[in-house]
């Protein structure tokens, strides 16, 4: 058994932070060992963002922080104090689906749907980055999102359709 540090008292470690998630500010009293993913899911109770590995190896937890896609499982909530975060729940505006959401439905770009929130947030990040030119670029730049159901070809078709309309 490895050496483990002496316990740190919870109160002593607690921070008060503000996360703006989908344009709504949430003030949280939170310990530093809470990841952004767990903060979103268990503390703010926005469960659209998924935990698929908790190790940065699957992309299911992808959210947008200040417009950039990241793995929310590998950052601490306290590190994102003041950040502007978009999760899948904030992608549609006023009940109107984001074009990517509609394209995912139309192209059947998912089966079980578990990786889908991460795929869509990742694809939004991809479009924001503006680096994907070819179909192969989309494939490479969507490779940080695993899909065990194997919907990749449909995901690429959905992203390509929306990209081409931009």
Partner 1 sequence: MNNFTYSQATGIDNAVNEITGHEKSMFIAGGTNLIDLMKENVLHPDHLIDINGLHLTSIEFLDDGRLFLGALVTNADTAWHPEVEKKYPLLAEAILAGASPQLRNMATNGGNLMQRTRCYYFYDTSTPCNKRTPGSGCSAINGYNRIHAILGTSQHCIAVHPSDMCVALRAINAVVQVKGKAGERLIPIEHFHRLPAYTPQIDNNLAHDELITGIILPREHFNTHYKYLKVRDRASYAFALVSVAVVLRLKEGVIDEIRIALGGVAHKPWRDEGVENWLKDKPATDENFAEAADMILQEAKTFGANDFKPALAKRAIVRACREALNREI
Partner 2 sequence: MNNETSYIGQPVNRVDGYAKVTGDAKYAADYNAGGLCYGVVVSAGIARGRIVRIDASAALQLEGVFQVFTHENVSGLAWFNMSYKDMDAPPGKHFRYLQTDMVTYSQQPVALVVAETFELARYAATLVNITYAADAHTTSLTGNLDKARPPKGKKTGFKKPANRGHFEKAFKAAQVTTDVTYYQGAEHHNPMEMHATTVLYYKNGSITVYDKTQGVLNTQSYVKSVFGLSGKKVKVLSPFVGGAFGSALRPQYQLFMAVLAALELKRSVKVMLTRQQMFSFGFRPITQQSLSLGALEDGSLQAISHKAISGTSQFEDYVENIVNWSGMLYHCKNVQQDYKLVSLDTYTPLDMRAPGAVTGVFGLECAMDELAYKLHMDPLELRRINYSVEDGSMKKPYSSKALMDCYEQAAARFGWSKRNPRPGSMKNGHLLTGWGMATGMWDAMTVPARAKATFTADGKLTVGSATADIGTGTYTIMTQIAAETLGLPIDHVTFQLGDASLPFAYLEGGSATAASVGTAVQQACLQIRERLLSLAKDIPDSPFRELSIEQITFADGKMYMSETPANFIHLKDILTLTATDAVNVTSTPLPNIFKQMKYAKNTHSAVFVEVQVDEELGSVKVSRVVSAVAAGRILNPKTARSQIVGGIVWGISGALYEESVMDHQFGRFINHNYAEYHIPVNLDINDIEVIFVEENDDVVNPLGVKGVGEIGQVGVAAAVANAIYHATGKRIRDLPITLDKLL
Report if residue 149 touches partner 1, rule: CB under 8 A.
no
Dist CA 100 CA 92 (whole Å): 10
Residues 6+ apart with CB under 8 A from 32: 13, 15, 76, 78
Dist CA 42 CA 26 (whole Å): 13
Query: Among 18-26, 84-92, 119-127, 155-163, which window interacts with partner 1 (CB under 8 A)?
Result: 119-127
Residues 6+ apart with CB under 8 A from 79: 36
Token digits for 118?
Answer: 């991460």
> Token match 């999760």: residue?
87
User: Which residues in 76-105 contact partner 1 (CB under 8 A)?
Assistant: 76, 78-79
Among 88, 132, 157, 162, binds partner 2 (CB under 8 A): 88
Among 29, 112, 135, 143, binds partner 1 (CB under 8 A): 143
Containing H/E element for 15? strand 15-21
Nearer to partner 1, 2 or 94 (CB): 2
From the list partner 2, partner 1, none, partner contacted by residue 126 (C-beta under 5 to 8 A by kind) = partner 1
Report if residue 55 touches partner 1, rule: CB under 8 A.
yes
- What angle separates helix 152-165 from helix 116-129, to the nearest 10 degrees? 40
The number of residues that bind partner 1 (CB under 8 A) is: 41
User: Which residues in 132-161 contact partner 2 (CB under 8 A)?
Assistant: 136, 138-140, 142-156
User: Which residues in 42-61 contact partner 2 (CB under 8 A)?
Assistant: 42, 45-55, 57-58, 60
């Amino acid at each position: 058994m490895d050496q483990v540090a002496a316990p740190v008292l919870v109160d002593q470690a607690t921070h008060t932070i503000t996360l703006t998630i989908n344009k709504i500010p949430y003030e949280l009293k939170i310990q530093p060992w809470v990841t952004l993913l767990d903060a979103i899911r268990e503390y703010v109770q926005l469960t659209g963002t998924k935990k698929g590995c908790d190790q940065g190896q699957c992309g299911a937890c992808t959210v947008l922080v200040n417009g950039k896609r990241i793995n929310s499982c590998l950052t601490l909530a306290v590190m994102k104090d003041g950040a502007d975060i978009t999760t899948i729940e904030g992608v549609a505006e006023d009940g109107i689906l984001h074009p990517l959401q509609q394209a995912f439905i139309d192209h059947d770009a998912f089966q079980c749907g578990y990786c889908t929130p991460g795929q869509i947030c990742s694809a939004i990040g991809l479009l924001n980055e503006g680096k994907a030119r070819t179909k192969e670029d989309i494939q490479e730049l969507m490779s940080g999102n695993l899909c065990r159901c194997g919907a990749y070809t449909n995901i690429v078709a959905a992203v390509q359709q929306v990209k081409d309309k931009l």
